[in-house]
Amino acid sequence: MSLYHAIKISLAGLKTNKMRSALTILGIVIGVTAIIMVVSLGQGAKDLILGQIQGIGARTIGIIPGRQPKGPTDVLATLTASLKERDLVALGRKENVPHAADIMPIVFGSETAYYEGETYRPTIFGGTELMADIYDAYPERGRNITADDVRGSADVVVLGQTVVDKLSPDHDLFGERIKIKGRNFLVIGILPKKGGASFINFDEMALMPYTTAQNYIFGIKHFNRIAMRADSEANVSSTVEDVKTTLRELHGITDPDKDDFGVETQADALKTVGTILNTLTVFLAMVAAISLVVGGVGIMNIMLVSVTDRTREIGLRKALGATNKNILTQFLLEAIILTGVGGIVGILLGAGLSFAISLVISNVFGLAWNFTFPIGAAFLGIIISTIVGLIFGLYPARKAAAKSPIEALRYE
């Protein structure tokens, strides 16, 4: 008997029990749907987050103070005051770091702000006039911090939307004065609302010259970070090396393991976040895959009932000349067709639901969320569900094939 006829027989068998067939594949449908959704949504989340990191700029390099942890068990990453004005000057010299286009010291921390009886604790972010350009944080009203503000430690702030809302729910703060650490700060600019999903949340920040933050807010002489931009993406890695060499020389460090600073690039951040998200997606997809095994057990269960139910049919087919192999093939194919169809339905359902969710996310939450159809996962879903059918269909099919025609015909 050809495979074509075998498939026809199995399809006819399934068609005479439509309701049972539909219920049987439910487990597989749900399992594959879950896998497709996890992978599709995982990809969407990854694209979104990586896109936001990328928004910071591929040329950006971050220099952070303190010995950096060398591994997951190395928790002695001591924050120190190792980055100071002299480092900034040294890094700014063309002969030390030839491909550095911009360099900006950063000071940050929390401090309470007051305005007409209202209080709020924003993140104080001290930088230079480059801040707006490096972090894409241009005020929607007013002006940015200028080089003059920095030189003169001016008492000026640019506020994020949340800070404005909390300090003054009923009116705009532009041009008003707010009080931080006993000093009056003129609000020179208001940042546009970025939303909570941005990688750096400027909504809760108060931007000011780093000199002002150092001198009047935190009372420190060091920096919490130095942001640098290479003149091109191609020069990022050489710039990282130049930064390390310059700082080691300046700090008298010969053993790189004893560095009292760290250098981060956006590529590192992308790699780290990408790895985390991939691991998470794979983990969730594996959890979803377990449901496929559960679905397979369901198939086996129903197939066993079906074999007992159709004992007469099996006996009749044998009496009419079906071989054991014919019967085995028929029941095995029924299981495989069931799981295969379940897989296809699951892929369509999973893709449809993921697409609907992506529409909701991009339209209701206004995020740059893209729907991706996970071809690999779909392919894998079909293969796995077919294999599940093969494995869990084998036992019932063998049971069917082993029935003696007489026993089967006698069965009432």
Partner 1 sequence: MSLMEVRNLEMTYSDEDVATPVLRGLTFKITKGEFVTIMGPSGSGKSTLLHILGLLERQSGGEYFFEDKQTGEYSEDEVARLRNKKLGFVFQSFNLLPRTTVLENVKLPLLYSGIKEEMWNSMARKAIDAVGLSHRLDFEPSQLSGGEKQRVAIARALVNNPEVIFADEPTGNLDSKSGEIVMEIIQKLHNEMGHTVILITHESYTAEYAERIIRLRDGLVESDTKVLNRRTGKLFQK
Site residues (vs partner 1, CB under 8 A): 1, 5, 9, 12, 16, 312-313, 315-326, 404-406, 409
- How far apart are CB 394 and partner 1 at their closest, in Å? 19
- How far apart are CB 1 and partner 1 at their closest, in Å? 6
SS3 for 162? helix
Instruction: Report the alpha-carbon distance of residue 167 to residue 123 in Å, rounded.
Output: 14
- The pair phi, psi for residue 374, each rounded to 5°, is -80, 90
Closest CA to 60 of 266, 316, 301, 287: 266
- How far apart are CB 307 and partner 1 at their closest, in Å? 16
In single-letter form, the type of residue at position 167 comes to L
Q: Which is nearer to partner 1, 4 or 75 (CB)?
A: 4
- DSSP letter (8 states) at residue 216: I
Q: Which is nearer to partner 1, 1 or 368 (CB)?
A: 1
What is the dihedral sign for C-alpha 166, 172, 174, 180?
Answer: negative
- How far apart are CB 355 and partner 1 at their closest, in Å? 38
Roughly how many angstroms between the first and final C-alpha of the chain, as a whole number?
A: 29
- How far apart are CB 26 and partner 1 at their closest, in Å? 22
Q: Which is nearer to partner 1, 121 or 325 (CB)?
A: 325
- How far apart are CB 400 and partner 1 at their closest, in Å? 15
**What one-character-per-residue DSSP string does 151-181 give?**
HTT--EEEE-HHHHHHH-SSS--TT-EEEET
In single-letter form, the type of residue at position 163 comes to V
Q: Which is nearer to partner 1, 207 or 322 (CB)?
A: 322
The most distant pair of C-alpha atoms in the chain lies apart, rounded to whole Å, by 103
Q: Which is nearer to partner 1, 194 or 317 (CB)?
A: 317
Integer Rg of the chain from CA: 33
Q: Which is nearer to partner 1, 222 or 399 (CB)?
A: 399
Q: Which is nearer to partner 1, 213 or 401 (CB)?
A: 401
- How far apart are CB 395 and partner 1 at their closest, in Å? 20
Instruction: Report the alpha-carbon distance of residue 91 to residue 97 in Å, rounded.
Output: 6
Neighbouring C-beta atoms of residue 364, cutoff 10 Å: 8
Instruction: Report the alpha-carbon distance of residue 48 to residue 211 in Å, rounded.
Output: 35
CB 330 within 8 A of CB 6: yes
Q: Which is nearer to partner 1, 93 or 410 (CB)?
A: 410
Instruction: Report the alpha-carbon distance of residue 7 to residue 22 in Å, rounded.
Output: 18
- How far apart are CB 23 and partner 1 at their closest, in Å? 18
Task: Provide the token pair at 363.
Answer: 């339209």
Closest CA to 330 of 313, 354, 347, 351: 313
